[in-house]
Structure 1
C-alpha cells in the first residue's frame, strides 16, 4: 500500500554500526529501510553514534557517560556488531550491550530460526521445513553480575558466579512466549535442566507450569536443554516456540542460526515489549574480523533485523515487504555471499534486495 497525501510519520532511530562487518552491513540496511519508508509513508531520522571497540581504544569506554540518556531519546536502536580480537569479549558485552539491555528493560531476546527458500541447511530432511521462534530471557538468569573471585593468584583461588531468577522475570518471559505460541502452532517448549540444577531450574519449572495453567489452549512442555539441543538437530521441523533462560536461550539460538544455513542471516530483537523504553535490533553474526574489509559479509541478517524493528514500531507492511524481498532474492536467484556457498559481495546482495523491492511496486496489487 502506498503512502497517501497525509503527513508522514517520523521515526528517530539510534544507529550503532560498531566494529568489523557491522560497518559494512549497516549501510545497506539503512538504505532498505529508507526505500520502504518512501513507499509506505514514513521517514526514519538516523542518529548515528561511533560507540564501538575502536571508540573504547580511543576513550577507555564503550560509550560516553550520558550514552544511555542519548539512546533514550530515540524510538529504537539498530546495532551492527561489536567486538575486537585485541580486546577481551567482556569489554564490549558489559561495556555496551548489557548496560543497554538492562537500562531499557529489554527483557525479551527474540530470535527466529527459519529456513528460507533457496537456502540449504546442513541437516538432512530439511525439506520438512524449519521455523522455530526462540524467546530468551534477557535480563537476569545466569548472566548476572553477582559473584566474584577470592584469593586471586594463589592456589586457593576460586570464583563464584550466581544465577539470579525471579518470579517476575520468569513469569513475564513465559507469558510473552505463550502469547506468541497462540499466534502460531500453539506449542511451547521450555528449556530446563532441573534434574541437575536443583534450585533455580526447579523454580523455573514451577513458574512455567503456573503460567501455562492460564493458557489451556497452548501445549506447554518441559524439556532438558541437552535433549532440546539434540532436538534442534534431529527434529527441528517439530519445534515451534521455545522459551529459555539467558544462558540456555543463548546457546539454543546459535544452534538455530546454523541449522537454517548461516549465522550471517540470523536476526534478533532485544525487546521492551511495553514500549516504555527503546528496543534494540541486531544480527547475531558478530564483528567477524576474519572477513572484515573484504566486502563479502552477508547483509541479510542486518536487513532482517531492521525489518523486525519496523514490525515492532508498528510498520508491519514495510517489514513484510522486506521479508518478501529477501525471500525473492534467495528463492529466485543464485545471488549468495560466501557464507551461503556463493561468490556475491555485500553490495551485490544489497542491490538484489533493492531490486526485489522495486519489483514489488511494479506488480499489480503489491
Structure 2
C-alpha cells in the first residue's frame, strides 16, 4: 500500500469549501486504485490566523509542513482584514520560496460542456511552465523620500541557473506532449533581462534537437492566447509573464474557477504544493456555489506528481464527463452546487471500481 501524507491548508474564503471537496474526491480515487491511501492533516494558516497570531504561518508550522509528501492549498487572501501583500508574502510566496518550489505549472484545456468566451476555441490544450523563484517577483528594491519626490525601485533578478532550470523542465515536459516549446519574452522592450532570457533559451534549445521551439513577445503572445490558443503546446515564461498568461488561460477556459496549478520542488528537499489558480472569492463564501473543479483538477496534478498518471488521467476523464453532462456551477452558467458537482465526480469515479 502506497500511503501519502498530505498537509491540507484550506486558507481563506472558498478554500475552506473546495479543499474538503477535493480531498473527498482523492479518497474516492484511492478506492479506485486499491493500492493507494491518503492521510490528510489540516492546518489553519489563513488571514484569520494572522489576526490571532500576528503571522500567516509560524516558524514551527514551516518545520512541520516540510515533513509531508505534499501540500494541498485552497486559497489565500482576505483584503478586508489583511492587506494582500501581507497575506500572500506571508504564506503563499513564503511556502514557494522557502520550500524551493522553483517551477509553477498551469494547464489550460477546453473542457467539454463548458462554454469558452472564444467564438472558436478549437480544443486548445496547453501548459505554461512558469519560473517560480525569481524574475520580476524579487524582493530586491526599495523606497526613498516622501511626498512628490518619493521613489520606488523594483529590481528583476534573472539567474542563469534559475532560467535554465525552468527551460529544461519545459523541454522535458514537451517531449511527453506535442514536442513544441514557446518562450515568452520581451527583448524588444526590456533591455537586459529579456535578451539574457532569449540567449539562455537558445542555448537550452540546442540540447533538445527533436523539440520544436520558438519565441514570442509577451504582448503578441497574450493576443495569440485569445486568437489562436490551439497552436501552443508548452510555454515557458518568467514569473510575471507566466502569471499573466495563465490568467488568460483560465479566462479562455470559461472561468478562473476551473484552473489548477502546481508548485514543484525539483530537488526533493521539500514538498511540492498544489493549489488552484482562483482566489478566495469572498463574495460567494458560504453560498455553496464555489466551483470545486480547479481544486479537483489540482488534485489530478498531484496524482501525476506522485507518478500515478493513469489514475490522474482517469480523474480528468471523469471531470470532463461531469462537465459534458451539464453539471456546472453558476460561474460556468450552470445551477449546480459545490456539493452536487463533487458528489457527481465521486459517483463517476466509484463506477470505475
TM range (shorter): over 0.9
Given the alignment, which residue of 66, 70, 74 partners 1:76? 70
What CA distance in whole angstroms lies between the structure 1 residues aligned with 2:246 and 2:295?
Answer: 16
2:168 alignment counterpart: 175
State yes or no: 1:109 paired with 2:101. no
The aligned length equals: 351
Task: Point out the more displaced range, 245-254 or 56-65.
Answer: 56-65
Deviation at 1:307, TM superposition (A): 1.3
Deviation at 1:42, TM superposition (A): 1.5
What CA distance in whole angstroms lies between the structure 2 residues aligned with 1:263 and 1:115?
Answer: 13
Deviation at 1:315, TM superposition (A): 2.1
State yes or no: 1:355 paired with 2:343. no
Query: Are the counterparts in 2 of residues 85 and 289 from structure 1 also a CA contact under 8 Å?
Result: no
2:245 alignment counterpart: 252
Deviation at 1:360, TM superposition (A): 2.0
Query: Are the counterparts in 1 of residues 32 and 352 from structure 2 also a CA contact under 8 Å?
Result: no
Q: Secondary structure at the match of 1:159?
A: strand
Deviation at 1:39, TM superposition (A): 2.4
1:272-311 to structure 2, matched below 5 A, reads 272-311=265-304
> Normalised by the size of structure 2, how large is the TM-score?
0.98
State yes or no: 1:13 paired with 2:23. no
1:338 alignment counterpart: 330
What CA distance in whole angstroms lies between the structure 2 residues aligned with 1:342 and 1:119?
Answer: 9
1:364 alignment counterpart: none
Deviation at 1:358, TM superposition (A): 1.9
What CA distance in whole angstroms lies between the structure 2 residues aligned with 1:73 and 1:184?
Answer: 32
Given the alignment, which residue of 208, 214, 218 partners 2:201? 208
RMSD (Å) for aligned C-alpha atoms = 1.0
Deviation at 1:99, TM superposition (A): 1.2
Deviation at 1:314, TM superposition (A): 2.0
Given the alignment, which residue of 184, 206, 210 partners 2:177? 184
Given the alignment, which residue of 62, 84, 88 partners 1:89? 84
Deviation at 1:117, TM superposition (A): 1.2
What CA distance in whole angstroms lies between the structure 1 residues aligned with 2:228 and 2:160?
Answer: 31
Name stretches of at least 5 consecutive residues in structure 1 with no aligned partner.
1-7, 362-366
Task: Point out the more displaced range, 133-142 or 316-325.
Answer: 316-325
What CA distance in whole angstroms lies between the structure 1 residues aligned with 2:40 and 2:83?
Answer: 30
Name stretches of at least 5 consecutive residues in structure 2 with no aligned partner.
none
Deviation at 1:316, TM superposition (A): 2.1
Query: Are the counterparts in 2 of residues 130 and 260 from structure 1 also a CA contact under 8 Å?
Result: no
What CA distance in whole angstroms lies between the structure 2 residues aligned with 1:274 and 1:161?
Answer: 29
Query: Are the counterparts in 1 of residues 105 and 262 from structure 2 also a CA contact under 8 Å?
Result: yes
What CA distance in whole angstroms lies between the structure 2 residues aligned with 1:353 and 1:116?
Answer: 14
> Normalised by the size of structure 1, how large is the TM-score?
0.94
What CA distance in whole angstroms lies between the structure 2 residues aligned with 1:18 and 1:299?
Answer: 15
What CA distance in whole angstroms lies between the structure 2 residues aligned with 1:36 and 1:113?
Answer: 23
What CA distance in whole angstroms lies between the structure 2 residues aligned with 1:246 and 1:104?
Answer: 17
1:23-34 to structure 2, matched below 5 A, reads 23-34=16-27
Q: Secondary structure at the match of 1:267?
A: coil
Task: Point out the more displaced range, 221-230 or 37-46.
Answer: 37-46
Query: Are the counterparts in 1 of residues 259 and 294 from structure 2 also a CA contact under 8 Å?
Result: yes
2:220 alignment counterpart: 227
State yes or no: 1:58 paired with 2:52. yes
Deviation at 1:321, TM superposition (A): 2.1
What CA distance in whole angstroms lies between the structure 2 residues aligned with 1:213 and 1:98?
Answer: 33
What CA distance in whole angstroms lies between the structure 2 residues aligned with 1:273 and 1:121?
Answer: 34
What CA distance in whole angstroms lies between the structure 2 residues aligned with 1:120 and 1:130?
Answer: 13
Deviation at 1:122, TM superposition (A): 0.3
Given the alignment, which residue of 121, 132, 135 partners 2:129? 135
